Structures are given as C-alpha cells and as structure tokens.
C-alpha cells in the first residue's frame, strides 16, 4: 500500500513506452524512473538499443500489445489513480 501511494504521488516520473521485449513481442510498459537516472534513461532510449528497464527504475505495469489493455488500465486506475 505504501508503494502504491509512493508511485501515485510521483506520476510525473512514470514513463509510458511501447517497445519490444526480449522475445521480440510488442509490449506496453509503465515505468517509474528514479529521478537521479532519468537523463541517463532518456539517453539510453535515444540509442535505440536493448536496455533493461529495471536498471533505471521499476515497472509498475505492463501488457503485451501495442496499447494498454483494459486489465492494465484498470490496475493503474485502482492502484495509482492513473487514467490511461
């Protein structure tokens, strides 16, 4: 519960991105990026290489596909108050 509140209060640090996972499948991610690593994360994205999102923060929600599915939208709304 404490973690949910933490992320809800830091929505400006939640990045939404569509990317292929390590198996080559499209996935949609919502990732909390630690403030100290945000610039490094953005630079890594610009390199268009494979990166481990967990090196920069925490994945708070994800699903396969090119857009968030209803289950993911409901989870983000319930846990963090995010409207996707």
Question: Domain coordinates of the chain in residue numbers?
Answer: 2-80
Which of helix, strand or coil describes residue 28?
Answer: strand
Q: What is this structure's pTM?
A: 0.88
Cβ atoms of 52 and 8 closer than 8 Å: no
Separation CA 56–CA 29 (nearest Å):
13
Q: Which residue matches tokens 């090119």?
A: 66
pLDDT in tens, the chain (84 residues): 688 999 999 988 999 999 998 899 999 999 999 999 999 999 999 998 889 999 999 999 999 998 999 999 999 999 999 998
């Amino acid at each position: 519960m404490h973690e949910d509140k933490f992320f809800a209060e830091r929505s400006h640090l939640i990045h939404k991105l569509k990317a292929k996972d390590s198996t080559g499948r499209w996935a949609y991610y919502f990732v909390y990026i630690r403030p100290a690593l945000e610039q490094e994360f953005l630079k890594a994205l610009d390199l268009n290489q494979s990166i481990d999102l967990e090196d920069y923060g925490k994945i708070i929600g994800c699903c396969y596909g090119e857009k968030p599915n209803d289950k993911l939208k409901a989870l983000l709304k319930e846990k963090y108050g995010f409207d996707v």
